[in-house]
Structure 1
């Protein structure tokens, strides 16, 4: 559990990592990728984004929420 209001955090300097799968939508680059990054200064908080839409605001989750959703931060090279 986090003491942070997730959407009040500054996520502008997050370094995102990609986990790619096969092309699911017929895109030109042949990959459908989600990105995940740890939010600086907010332990246990992660930002989930879309590599094809980097201009969109990412969704923010706690480590517990990611685990519940079946998303393993280790697949993105991150630790909880």
Structure 2
């Protein structure tokens, strides 16, 4: 499992973020991108200038975030 230092050391400049909304997208949406074999970047569409948070697949599952909801496979 990747630790925080390795997760935040991954380059996300070419990451392809996908948006998923829980309600009207005017309220903001969560964006998710795979950035490695067991690494994900989670962003906020209302704050695109903010650095996305990084998670492992296991951490996403514990948080209840399913990449398949974004059309991404685990």
User: What TM-score comes out, normalization by structure 1 length?
Assistant: 0.81
Aligned to 2:2: 2
**How high is the TM-score relative to the length of structure 2?**
0.87
Q: Deviations over 1:42-61 (max 9, x none)?
A: 20200000111111110000
The structural deviation recorded for 1:30 is 2.5
4+ runs deviating over 3 angstroms: none
Name the CA distance, whole Å, in 1 between partners of 2:10 and 2:73: 19
CA distance in 2, matches of 1:31, 1:16: 18
Structure 2 residues without counterparts, runs of 5 or longer: none
Shift of 1:72: 0.3
Does residue 67 of structure 1 match 2:61?
A: yes
Structure 1 residue 37 and structure 2 residue 33: aligned? yes
